Amino acid sequence: MSTSPPATALAAIHGGRVLRPDDAWDDGPVHLDGPRLSEASGPGKWLDASGCLVLPGILDFHGDAFERQIMPRPGVRFPLDVALLDTDRQLAANGITTALHGVTYSWEGGLRGRETAEGLFDALHRLQPRLRTEHRVHLRFECHNVAGEDEVLGWMESGRVSLLAFNEHLPGMRRKPHKLQEYADRAGTDVPGFLARLEAAAERAAEVPGVLERLAQRARERGIPMASHDDDAIEVRDRFHRMRCHISEFPLTWEVARHARAMASPVVCGAPNVLRGGSHVGAPGAAALAGEALCTILASDYYYPAPLHAAFKLAYEQVMPLAHAWALVSRNPADALGLDDRGRLAPGKRADLVVVDASEPGMPRLVASICAGRIAYLAEGERLHG
């Protein structure tokens, strides 16, 4: 789903240190021609990026923080339009120019049920003219949601889905009785009601392999990339790889991450993991994985500021050069998703950029986000001229 940000169009950016596609830096201008980067600029407004870095816009592979805008407290819901418009502004203010919303479609119902998913699709379409960043859907299909197969097939056929991910949270939920109230609140029921839904989904386990095969086939036919979520064993990663589901999202062991990279599969980790110095669920450390070239993409997961700060933290702590760290949040996710029009600052590419003041070590500050050639966020108005 593309957007047309209702904001100021730019013709050029001057004065910044620019990251070029070959990972080299220079001080040359960046020219824009409408929504694309160009060889030269015409007349129009220009942005003074003096003292700042000019980088490709962040492409957030997986973010579900929008759920907190919909339901900030258990059982407390807000209109989807309000939630998504606020989310759009959060994205722009954190340098995310393309967002893949992790929309979960689960047997649970409630926040992660069919009604919410349909509502999100409709709201994104309705709000498109008002959004300042590009919003796409990363559909997270819970594998035991057998009854949802037809809806997902239809959503893919209609072009609503940019990425299909296979999630399997049901077994883990059974092992966490202390979280049942949380799950029930999210699902809009009580604990007995939630357990009844869980057991009803589990009873259809024999149908799950066939559902996954049919969904994967439709995704392949439509050219939709696929990911498996929380791979906990090499055998699991191999099973999905045979379905041409090549992306391993949040692998739970070093062995799985190594195995995925040995097959040239992209490996996605959480940027909050880097920023916090470790995983909150006991998964491998994302910074350590990145340092061993076993993590190729960093996603916001549940915290939109994380990709910007995580990339700079990896550079500040000398895990890798900034150009390589920035690829984890821009070029690499674009390549994994087949979005070859973004992730690099080169003529003909989408004019998705961020301007960052990195003068304070370890504390980058976003100055501007530009999406499809228009300013989506600007912290310092005096930098805009013309």
Do 147 and 282 have their domain in common? yes
In-domain check, residue 78: yes
Mean pLDDT computed over 305-328: 98
Do 49 and 76 have their domain in common? no
pLDDT at 280 over 80: no
* Nearest alpha-carbon partner for 368 in 354, 381, 382: 354
In-domain check, residue 26: no
Do 274 and 144 have their domain in common? yes
Do 379 and 244 have their domain in common? no
Mean pLDDT computed over 313-320: 97
Residues 193-214 pLDDT 10s:
999 999 999 999 999 999 999 9
Which alpha helices (H) appear in 243-330, and where do they start and end? 254-262, 271-276, 286-291, 306-316, 322-327
In-domain check, residue 282: yes
Do 47 and 79 have their domain in common? no
The count of structural domains within the chain is: 2
Do 157 and 70 have their domain in common? yes
Range of the domain at 194: 57-346
Do 352 and 317 have their domain in common? no
What CA–CA distance (Å, rounded) separates 326 from 25? 13
Burial class (CB in 10 A: 0-12, 13-18, 19+), 147: middle
Do 266 and 306 have their domain in common? yes
CATH value at residue 366? 2.30.40.10
Do 76 and 171 have their domain in common? yes
Do 335 and 366 have their domain in common? no
In-domain check, residue 276: yes
Do 259 and 224 have their domain in common? yes
Residues 121-174 pLDDT 10s:
999 999 999 999 999 999 999 999 999 999 999 999 999 999 999 999 999 999
In-domain check, residue 381: yes
**Measured in whole angstroms, how far is the alpha carbon of residue 277 from the centre of its chain?**
20
Do 242 and 93 have their domain in common? yes
In-domain check, residue 222: yes
The per-residue pLDDT for 14 is 97
